[in-house]
Each structure stands twice: as C-alpha cells, then as structure tokens.
Amino acid sequence: MNKKECLSDSTSVPVKRYCQTLQLKNDQELIEKYIQMHHEDHHWKIIRDGIRAVGILNMEIYLSDNKLFMIVDAPLDFEWHLAFEKLKKMPLQEEWEKEMSIYQDSSGGSSMEKWQLMDRIFYLYE
C-alpha cells in the first residue's frame, strides 16, 4: 500500500460524519514535526481518551502539502458544539492545543475555533 492509499476503521453503527480543514504553517520542518506529534509513539494518550470520552467514534487527519483534512465519525445523537465545549475542558487539552498552535496557521485557541467545518457538496447518489 502506498502513502496515497488508506484503510479506514469502520463502525458497526450508523454515524454522522464531519469534515474539517486547517492550514499548517508552510514550513517543511514544522510540518514534519506536526506529523511526528500525531504518530502513535508521540501522540498524547490522554488527548485520544478525551476525544473518545466526548463521543467521537473515529477521527482521521490527512495531509496535502500544508493543508490538513480531518474526518470525524460520531453517533447519530452526537451534538458537535456540546462535545467540543466538553473536550475543551478535558485534562491537558488546552496544553495540547497550545503545542499544536506552533505548527498551525490559525489564530484560534481551541480545536473548534481552529478547524473549519466543511459542507458536503457531492456524494455518489443512489
């Protein structure tokens, strides 16, 4: 499998899908460090635990040049703004966001402020 091919975890329940985008600073060294910070060996487990605790079932981040694309799958009863207000208060979340801001080309503080939700404009219609 090459870098452009990805396998996705599937869930056994119907989900809502949210897609977001964010720019990284256009600096290859910073981008490489950002990638390393998200690797399983370096990522903060407490952050993953917090993401799951607010109800997110799966989260993936993709990179093209300095552009990030995030996919978030959540249960049908998931309340986006309530979940991210709760996430903002989770242990070490503020510190993680501060650390990530070094790499991100964004003026927001929390994840919900930095990552921009996208509107779906196409899917393979039945």
pLDDT at 53: 97
Q: How far apart are CA 51 and CA 91, in angstroms?
A: 11
List, run by run, the mean pLDDT of 10-residue segments along the chain (126 residues). 53 87 97 95 92 97 97 96 94 93 86 90 88
pLDDT at 10: 58
Q: How far apart are the first and last CA of the chain?
A: 29
pLDDT at 4: 52
- What's 114's DSSP letter? H
15-117 has CATH 3.40.250.10 classification: no
Residue 69 CB contacts under 8 Å (≥ 6 apart), including other chains: 19, 20, 21, 61, 62, 63
Neighbours of 52 (CB within 10 A): 12
Residue 92 CB contacts under 8 Å (≥ 6 apart), including other chains: 44, 46, 47, 50
pLDDT at 126: 78
pLDDT at 8: 53
**pTM, rounded to two decimals:** 0.86
- What's 25's DSSP letter? P
Q: pLDDT above 70 covers what percent of the chain?
A: 91
Check: CB of residue 55 under 8 Å from CB of residue 74. Answer: yes
